Amino acid sequence: MLLPAWEMRLYGLLAVGSYLYAFYEAHRVSRKYEAVMDREFGLEPGTLFRGLKKDPMDFEWSYWIEWGRERILWLLAGHLLVSQVSRLLVEKYKPWCLMVYGMAACWLLLGIKGFAVILLHATISFAVAQFQLSVLTWLCSLTLLSTLRVPAVEEAKRKWYDTENEYYLLLFTLSVRCLFCTSFSLEYCWHGPAQKSSHSFLWMLAYVFYYPTFHNGPLMNFDEFSKQMRSQEAFSLKTNLRIFMVGIMRIFFWWCLAELMIHLMYIHALYSSAPPLEAASYWALGGLALAQVLFFYVKYLVLYGVPALLLQMDGLKPPALPCCVSLMHSFTKMWRTFDVGLHRFLVRYIYVPMGGSQSSLLGTLFSTALTFAFVSYWHGGQSYLWYWGALNWLGVIAEGGITKILSISPIQDLIERSFSPSIRRRLHAVLASVSTSMLILSNLIFLGGNHVGKIYWNRIFVEGWPWATLTVLGFLYCYSHVGMAWEQTYGVSAE
């Protein structure tokens, strides 16, 4: 251990204590504005936690919970049944059994027109891939993605459904399917003629219509999917049952935790109304910010946890679930460990082909910028997403630049001669606290919009300078020490 045990205990105590007090203040401000939030946004009566009202303003959580309860969970249960029976009786034909089931589930949920659009996207992507030109494949993918935002096309698709929620389900599904089609098509371009049989149109359909990842991910690149789906591992019903029971208990716990958070703290409702944020204390502001990013983390433990469990039951290895955001102390690690599937996609198909870290300085800047430009556009392309992407690009570039400068031999030798390991760790935590503050700000823009980011910037870094700013950085300094110690002890994966 680089630092004395008493010092690490102090950092841990300050980190946990500040978290709890900040959450308490966020709860207090939620109670204070409960009547206002109820009139403005319509808080829902608590079902899981009686006597408490529920914040319904997180669209993504409310949307997927409603769809899951009504139909998607039942269709996932059907997938599980087909998967286990096919593994038990016809392992060789498992991919095709699951493909047929996925297509049937798509037809049932999105209707024949929705099914036809997804099939059309896959067919066009496969046809363009025959030219084996990566640039052409990307042009095709971006064109198909852009059609989702053409007003006339949007209006035509809306008319297919009775409710807006049904249209949004098609929109979200097509957005995710676009990445799957892109992955298959690029892998097709990169593989030689001898391997084309493993990249047939039938395999593309098996990949695109694989139901656990169909509507919301997580993303799994085609080569990983194909390789694992082809391997016929020993099947044990007893082992699978144990995996299923443990997985269900974990997901239920995460779901209860997410629900508890939006019953105790009206994070999303308060973020939708500027006056309470502008009037809240600094502790309440901090508590709402921490609660917002932690809720996003727990939400994706549920939303990715369900399909990840089914992937395991199918004999596949899912991308790792998100790492706890409380332990994150850099932009780079956040991107590597939160949405692992998306990170692998961006690195394999954009960052590395454009030169990545192996190219010149300008090449690295360009390939990183292109990566964040794509992910911002894929998420919707609204103005706040471009600000979010730009902040993340600057953060990753700054961290990479500082790391490269400090790794230059003369500078590295000078630092090692001048500072002990414990001093170097403390200086690392100082830099990490600044990075973490910008990381949290960028996430608040992503989750709450430009107006939320502007309020936090003005309150903490402009009006609050120097005492509020330095206090926030001081607590983030403690969080950084805890995160680095956790990473060193438990080896947080950087994949």
Any idea what DSSP says for residue 457? I
What DSSP state is assigned to residue 191? S
Cα dihedral 448, 454, 459, 463 in deg (nearest 10): 180
Calpha distance 53→31 (Å, rounded) = 10
User: Does the annotation mark 379 as catalytic?
Assistant: yes
C-alpha 347/C-alpha 366 separation (Å) is 13
Q: Compute the C-alpha angle 21/23/29, nearest 5°.
A: 105
- For residue 104, what are the contacts with CB-CB under 8 A and spacing of at least 6? none
Task: Please list the residues that pair with 53 across neighbouring strands.
Answer: 45
Q: Give residue 292's Cα distance to chain centre.
A: 14
Q: Do residues 330 and 286 lie in contact, with contact meaning Cβ atoms separated by under 8 Å?
A: no
Q: 191, 379, 428, 451: which is the annotated catalytic residue?
A: 379
CA–CA distances in Å: residue 456 to residues 29, 43, 60: 16, 25, 23
DSSP 387: H
3-state percent breakdown (helix, strand, coil) of the chain, nearest 5: 80, 0, 20
* 111 Rama class: left (phi>0) / alpha (psi -120 to 50) / beta: left
CA angle, 185 then 225 then 317, to 5°: 150
Instruction: Count the neighbouring beta carbons within 10 Å of the beta carbon of residue 178.
Output: 20
Give the residue among 104, 286, 313 at the shortest CA–CA distance from 211: 104
Q: What are the residues facing 44 on neighbouring strands?
A: 54
Q: Cα–Cα distance between 132 and 188 in angstroms, integer?
A: 7
The set of catalytic residues is: 379
